[in-house]
Chain A
Amino acid sequence: MISLPMSRILSIVVTLAMLVAVCAVFLYAPTERQMGDVQRIFYFHVSAALSAATAYFLVFLGSVQYLRTRADRWDRFAKVSAELGIAFSAFVLFSGPLWARPIWGVFWRWEPRLTTMLITFTIYVAYLMVRSYGEPGERTQRFAAVVGIVAFVNVPLVHYSINMWAADQQLHPPKVELDPAMLYTKLICYFTFACLFTLLMRLRLQQERQAARLEALSRRTQQ
């Protein structure tokens, strides 16, 4: 799949962008005054959170489209998006505590954003479980689509609700004045992650399509 021209171009773009991003994060961005170098985690942490949110939205989109068209490709689209969403969320949940510990002394605090991310993570893990533990077939795809829609509707509810619940625990500063260099670094990282996300989506979608083709082929040979 990597041999296909579009994927190849994307791979090169992603590699270059990643190199630029890493240089920006470690060399170009200034050291934060209060938090020190650990703050550099922020650039990938935030980009990953954005990617995860996008992924979850795509799950919703895929699920709605699947229920409307019943086309397998939308089901694959939703599934792949969910996997990516979970992967990026896992990194957010991994990097968050690593950032928090040197600065606030604790790995975890039940503060709004991390808690919301954790709950959302569990919702989509459950989504994938519905898929893996369902008998392969149209019914499981339908169920997954329904869950995918309910899951996404829950995201703003969870966000809003947790924010009210733990408003006093907020570790994330609401609005920060970013040094221009930091702002550019952040934008570079956003762009890099967007490219990476697109590449991974593309590779996985093609792979799933190939797997479906294999399925169909093996059914034919058995006849």
Chain B
Amino acid sequence: MSAVPSTWAHTRILLRKDLVAEWRTKERLSPMVFFVLLVLLVFNFGFELGGAALWEIGPGVLWTSFVFASLFGLQRTFAAEGANDCLDGLLAAPVERGALYLAKMLGNVLFLLGVELLTLPMFGLFFNLTPGLYLLPLFVVFLLGSASVASIGTLFAAMAGHSRLREFLLPLLVLPMLIPALISCVAATGVILEGGIPGRGTELWPAELTVHVGMLGLFAVVFTTLAWMLFDFVIEE
């Protein structure tokens, strides 16, 4: 048994630190949940969501709200390390850079997932969804969607502090790159939510779902791997 902790051990420690900090202050989660609610409201008045059109744009509204909200949330990924030069401290310690990335990225995934799960009831309320088995595949889509967003979001969030663009950098870079993932999320959610409409037939895993979830999985894996490899170059001093 080597004395040096493995990458995974480092990741766990760093992740716990962030989760505990967030749990104590809830300074990222609460505002984000509230923000998603507000975005849903704005969409309602912007688009006249009522009646049959609901099902065509429902998934789109849901994911657009999440994407914009997550852009806000991701900005703060490295904020905690800004004070007291904590980042330098972290880098000076024998922690693998990859572990730092994974910890931040997983933290973001959990954070985004938390927001999505907390806002789902709101969405269900506005769109008259009845809870059902479809929630399981929906969770999978949420998970993979969050992973896709968090993977490149975390990488670019580390760059935002050093640019004159500041908070614009993240949206400008991330939005176009997320479009493929967004497409798959919306398509998958559309297929799933048909099960939530009262009266529609339901299967746990509709056949069309596999393609979309497969693509989402591909995005998540590719983005995460790529970002993990490149993170070293962003964080070095």
Residues of A within 8 A of B (CB): 67, 119, 122-123, 126, 129-130, 133-135, 139-140, 142-143, 145-147, 149-151, 153-154, 157-158, 160-162, 164-165
Given A135-B164, A150-B152, A165-B183: 20 more A-B contacts, CB < 8 Å: A67-B233, A119-B176, A123-B177, A130-B169, A133-B169, A134-B162, A134-B163, A140-B163, A147-B173, A149-B226, A150-B155, A150-B227, A153-B226, A154-B176, A157-B180, A158-B180, A161-B179, A161-B183, A162-B179, A165-B187
- Pairwise interchain contact B215-A150, C-beta atoms closer than 8 A: no
Chain B interface mostly: helix
- Pairwise interchain contact A154-B177, C-beta atoms closer than 8 A: yes
- Pairwise interchain contact A146-B164, C-beta atoms closer than 8 A: no
**Chain B residues with CB below 8 A from A143, complex form:** 159, 162-163, 234
B165 within 8 A of A: yes
A161 (CB) vs chain B CBs: closest residue: B180
- Pairwise interchain contact B234-A126, C-beta atoms closer than 8 A: no
- Pairwise interchain contact A153-B222, C-beta atoms closer than 8 A: yes
Q: Contacts A126-B176, A157-B222, A165-B183 known; A133 to B215 CB distance under 8 Å?
A: no
- Pairwise interchain contact A135-B179, C-beta atoms closer than 8 A: no
In angstroms, how far is the closest chain A Cβ from the Cβ of B197?
23
- Pairwise interchain contact B230-A133, C-beta atoms closer than 8 A: no
Count of CB-CB pairs between chains A and B under 8 Å: 81
Q: Contacts A146-B234, A150-B226 known; A162 to B180 CB distance under 8 Å?
A: yes
- Pairwise interchain contact A162-B155, C-beta atoms closer than 8 A: no
Residues of B within 8 A of A (CB): 152, 155-156, 159, 162-165, 169, 172-173, 175-177, 179-180, 183-184, 187, 211, 215, 219, 222, 226-227, 230, 233-234, 236
Q: Contacts A126-B173, A130-B159, A162-B180 known; A145 to B164 CB distance under 8 Å?
A: no
**Chain A residues with CB below 8 A from B222, complex form:** 153, 157
Chain A interface mostly: helix
Q: Contacts A146-B234, A149-B230, A157-B222 known; A134 to B177 CB distance under 8 Å?
A: no
Give the complex CA separation of A145 and B233 in angstroms: 9
- Pairwise interchain contact B215-A161, C-beta atoms closer than 8 A: yes
- Pairwise interchain contact B234-A134, C-beta atoms closer than 8 A: no
In angstroms, how far is the closest chain A Cβ from the Cβ of B68?
16
In angstroms, how far is the closest chain A Cβ from the Cβ of B111?
22
**Chain B residues with CB below 8 A from A122, complex form:** 175-176
Q: List 17 A-B contacts (CB under 8 A).
A: A123-B173, A129-B165, A130-B163, A133-B165, A133-B169, A134-B164, A135-B162, A140-B162, A140-B163, A142-B234, A143-B234, A146-B155, A150-B152, A157-B219, A161-B180, A164-B215, A165-B183
